[in-house]
Homo-oligomer: A and B are copies of this chain.
Amino acid sequence: MSGNSFGNLFKLSTFGESHGEALGGIIDGCPAGIELDISKIQLDLDRRKPGQSAIVTQRKEPDEVRFLSGVFEGKTTGTPIGFVIENTNQKSHDYSHIKDSYRPSHADYVYDKKYGFRDYRGGGRSSARETASRVVAGAIAKQMLKGIKINAFVSSVGSIQLEKDYTELDLANAETNIVRCPDTALASKMEDYIRQIRKEGDTVGGVVTCVVQNVPIGLGEPVFDKLHAELGKAMLSINAVKGFEYGSGFGGSSMKGSQHNDLYNEDGTTKTNYSGGIQGGISNGMDIYFRVAFKPVATIMQTQKTINKEGEEVEMQGKGRHDPCVVPRAVPIVEAMAALVLADYTLINNSILR
């Protein structure tokens, strides 16, 4: 119930604080016999890791994963896959400024209230560093989901928004620039804006869009565990996420039924896809697409007023190396969570007697 696991049949449990000894996790339920390409796992870790470009945090973490079990002679065995990522960058920092004071819009205050005390080093368990474990598990899930294509990309940074529909774009272009926006001209503007925001000692939010293609019909469970409900939970569990919409989303709420209904072609595909590939909570074989809103990073390099444990007002100056905008590094995390959801529902769907 403590919420450190995700999934049912393909289940990830994670552990680890940002500045503790190591992060890691257990992937339980991964079927036997999947040949694992470890380099693809590392590739996704590299897409998430700090220091990868000029517009992300300049912390240095190699983020190398070590597998301890569940893989034998290059293949999964069906037993739990234990893995560890050592924290190499956790040398003696000075945390005195956050030990007794609460950073605004961080989890410091609520952790102290909930648990009585907290591991104050770099945010402890509430740090987004935890998502490295998700990326490992998601990369394995991707390898299980042969044929399914999962592509996330940045669709807005601050007020700079991608207006084009994803179907007009080559999604592979997202990986050709450091913002991870498939419209390279727009990516360039976004990059400039992020550089400027950093200079101001400020941060900015953004949106990540994800497209999942070649999904078989029938994934998702009716009622409470609708496919999009679980995708929504998965995305909202990522640090800094404030909203989720799929298919027509919030925009669909101002449409009429006569516009919004997706009419069928004779092969069961639909002429439009306002449904976003999901009807009644179950995949219908069309593209699944959704948007995930990220708030601006709470740690800014400007002086802010806040309170300490005694409830006294204090001044706080952001320290350390932080992201001015989180969305470029969030792209592989969104993909990983999507992969975890799809892997889980694939196994649930497989359990049906036929």
A246 interface residue per 8 A CB criterion:
yes
Instruction: Type the 1/0 row for A256-275, where 1 means its CB is closer than 8 Å to any CB of B.
Output: 11111111111110100011
Q: Out of B130, B202, B257, B351, which one reaches A348, CB within 8 Å?
A: B351
Shortest distance between the CB of A315 and any CB in chain B (Å): 11
Shortest distance between the CB of A265 and any CB in chain B (Å): 8
Contacts known (A3-B221, A82-B16); A256 close to B197, Cβ less than 8 A = yes
Contacts known (A204-B255, A252-B293); A236 close to B232, Cβ less than 8 A = yes
CA distance A130 to B24 in the complex (A): 19
Q: Out of B102, B116, B233, which one reaches A229, CB within 8 Å?
A: B233
In this complex, what residue of B is CB-closest to A15? Answer: B82
Are the CB atoms of B20 and A2 closer together than 8 Å? no
In this complex, what residue of B is CB-closest to A34? Answer: B353
A contact residues, range: 35 or more
Q: Please, which residues of chain B bring their CB within 8 A of the CB of A116?
A: 32-33, 354
Are the CB atoms of B110 and A260 closer together than 8 Å? no
Which one of A6-14, A39-47, A57-65, A179-187 is at the interface? A6-14
Best-buried of A118, A225, A256 by chain B (most CB within 10 Å): A256
Q: Please, which residues of chain B bring their CB within 8 A of the CB of A1?
A: 1, 8-9, 29, 221, 225, 348, 351
Instruction: Type the 1/0 row for A207-229, where 1 means its CB is closer than 8 Å to any CB of B.
Output: 10000000001100111111011
Are the CB atoms of B250 and A126 closer together than 8 Å? no
Are the CB atoms of B249 and A242 closer together than 8 Å? yes
Q: Out of B253, B306, B312, which one reaches A294, CB within 8 Å?
A: B253
Counting every copy of the chain, the complex holds 4
CA distance A252 to B260 in the complex (A): 27
Are the CB atoms of A297 and B257 closer together than 8 Å? yes
Are the CB atoms of B114 and A78 closer together than 8 Å? yes
Shortest distance between the CB of A194 and any CB in chain B (Å): 12
Which one of A48-56, A67-75, A162-170 is at the interface? A67-75
CA distance A28 to B223 in the complex (A): 12
Q: Please, which residues of chain B bring their CB within 8 A of the CB of A22?
A: 68-69, 82
Are the CB atoms of B21 and A223 closer together than 8 Å? no
Q: Please, which residues of chain B bring their CB within 8 A of the CB of A296?
A: 252, 255-257, 259-260
Contacts known (A15-B80, A26-B13); A252 close to B261, Cβ less than 8 A = no
**What are the 4 A-B residue pairs with the smallest beta carbon separation, nearest first?**
A107-B280, A3-B225, A243-B245, A3-B221
A-B contact pairs, 26 of them (CB 8 A): A3-B226, A4-B28, A4-B221, A4-B224, A5-B13, A9-B348, A13-B26, A79-B124, A79-B125, A110-B279, A111-B222, A114-B282, A115-B352, A126-B222, A202-B257, A206-B253, A229-B232, A230-B233, A233-B236, A242-B246, A242-B252, A242-B253, A253-B294, A257-B296, A264-B305, A266-B307
- In the complex, besides A2-B221, A72-B118, A232-B244, 10 extra interface pairs with C-beta distance below 8 angstroms are A2-B28, A4-B221, A79-B124, A80-B125, A105-B274, A107-B279, A158-B253, A158-B256, A256-B296, A261-B298
